[in-house]
Structure formats: C-alpha cells, structure tokens
Structure 1
Amino acid sequence: MSSQPKESGRIVVGVDGSECSKEALRWAVRQAELTGATVNAVIAWEYPPLYGSIGWLDAPQELEGNIKLWAGQALDGAISEVVKTGDAARVRPTVAYGTAPAVLLDAAREASLLVVGSRGHGGFAGALLGSVSQHCTQHAPCPVVVVRAHGH
C-alpha cells in the first residue's frame, strides 16, 4: 500500500500577486497535500482601457504579448515564493485572457474547489470581500473558500 494519497480532484486558485492571493495559494497547496488533489493556479489578464480625445479606445494589439508575459511572470513569481520545491509538481499554472471572475469561474468548472483571496489589487482596503471573491462566491460551480491575508 502506497503512503502517497491518490489524486482526488482539482483545486483552482486565483492568483494576482497580492498578499491575499498568495495566502490563498498557500492554503490551496496545503489542502491539496491533505486531499491528494492537484492545484490549478490561475491568473487572468485583459487589455487595459485607454482613454483618448475621442473617448474609450482599444489598447494596441502589440500590448497583448507584453501583458500576457507580465501576468505569467507575476504568477510564476507568486508560485516560486509560496510553493515549496517538493510541492511544485502538484501546481499547474494557467494564464488566461479575460476578467478575473470570468476566467476563475470557467476554470472552476469540474473542479472540486475554488480558492480566492478576500482582497486583491485595487478596490477599497477596508472592504470585507473584493468584487472578484464576492462574484465567485455567488456564481461558482463548486464550493468556494475565501482566504484572508495574515493581519486582517
């Protein structure tokens, strides 16, 4: 009989580089160790809106490669900071285009659990839940865990 637990699901965790998202990643990896699940660490990216003299404009297409690269670097940085070397094989990074709620909900289809931080980048610092975590708790196709950063 093997001492390794067999895989029992997939945990999706939203990562944006914020401290709350890093805590969510830590929590997801610990939960995956206990349950034998894999972790799908997901970061979303989208074109920033630009405002010009004639109103809102689409961002130049050449930004796509840069923004996607920056998102991937933020995700890789968070994973290397948070995940121990022995657990790295359990974590699969995903960089996806779209809004954070849409990307996370799509990734959470057929997942056993969705994990998000209570607050990401931006928004009101004193709010209990951020807009992404609130949207995910209301619309996710699986159970959701909302993790708060230490000191909150």
Structure 2
Amino acid sequence: MTSTSSFVIVLGFDGSTHSHKALKWALDEAGRRNGELRLITAWSKPPMSWYPAVLETAAGEIVAEDSPERIAERLQADALKAAASEGIAATGQAVHADSAASAILDAAKDADLVIVGSRGHGGFPGLHLGSVSTQVIDHAPCPVLVVR
C-alpha cells in the first residue's frame, strides 16, 4: 500500500485488445476509488535492430514506418487522453526495457493494485494467459487484476 491517501493503480498497456479492456477496467476502478493511474508501455527493440519500412501510399507519397519508441509514445498519449476524458488523474511512461513485466513491476513498487490484460501481442494466440501477465502475477508486491 502507498503512504499517500490516493489509491495508485499501475496498468500495463501495449495497445492490444486485452490491454484496451484492462484500460477500461482501470479507469472505472480509479474513478470508484478516487485513485490515480500509472500507465506503463514497454518497448524493447535495440536501436540497430529496427529499420523503418518505406511504404508508398495510394497517392504516391513515400512514408516511413514509425519506430517502436514512437508507437509506444503514441499508445501512451491515446491512453492518457482516455483517462483525461474520464476525469482520472493519470501519468504515463513509455519505457525502453528488455522485459515488459520488469517495467510494470518497477512501477508497481508503491502501488495498491496492478491491472494487466490476460495477454498482449504475443505469438501464441491459443494461450489464455500471456508471459507478461504470468510474471506480473508471480512477482507483484500488491494485488493483481488480470482482465480477459
């Protein structure tokens, strides 16, 4: 539990369908508890391992694909706008980390609740629980809510 009077909720948000459902739940929970929301979006591509795809649009314009960092920042901005529209106090971090679970757990050290989607963008669609959710459940210093 935190030492402040505000109820702190950490949300792992990667833009997946499950994380959007988790965001909706987190906004509702923060509203009910007069709490604050900490949004964490992790990205992990080393600088030299990503090369932008160059695409041609239907209008003949050449555009470059966004970097993983830029995508994470855009996801954060969209989630923060959703929080603001609900009147929820929220902060966000787009974190460069090798492990999304570690980034979430670091943010949760003084949290009252962690909320994650049951799975993200991982490559095993048949799994009911993804690796990040599993690691967060196993190591979180506070209660964890997993949203399907």
Give the shorter-chain TM-score range.
Answer: 0.7 to 0.9
Task: Name the TM-score, length of structure 2 as normaliser.
Answer: 0.78
The answer for unaligned runs of 5 or more in structure 1 is: 1-5, 49-57
User: Residue by residue, what CA displacement relative to the aligned partner does 1:61-101 show, whole Å, maximum 9, x if unpaired?
Assistant: 998x9432221012223444x446142x5121111110201
Paired with 2:109 and 2:13, the residues of 1 have a C-alpha distance of 17
Task: Name the TM-score, length of structure 1 as normaliser.
Answer: 0.76
4+ aligned runs moved over 3 Å, structure 1: 60-63
User: RMSD of the alignment, in Å?
Assistant: 2.5
Number of aligned residue pairs: give it.
Answer: 131
Q: Secondary structure at the match of 2:48?
A: coil
Question: CA offset at residue 59 of structure 1?
Answer: 2.1
Residue identity in the other structure for 2:10: V
Asked if the contact 2:43–2:68 (Cα under 8 Å) also holds between the matched residues in 1, the reply is yes
Match of 1:72? 73
Asked if the contact 1:7–1:36 (Cα under 8 Å) also holds between the matched residues in 2, the reply is no
Of residues 35, 60, 64, the one that matches 2:33 is 35
Query: 1:2-151 maps to which residues of 2 (within 5 A)?
Result: 7-47=5-45, 59=48, 66-80=67-81, 82-83=82-83, 85-87=85-87, 89-98=88-97, 99-148=99-148
Of all paired residues, the percent bearing the same amino acid is 37
Q: Secondary structure at the match of 1:11?
A: strand
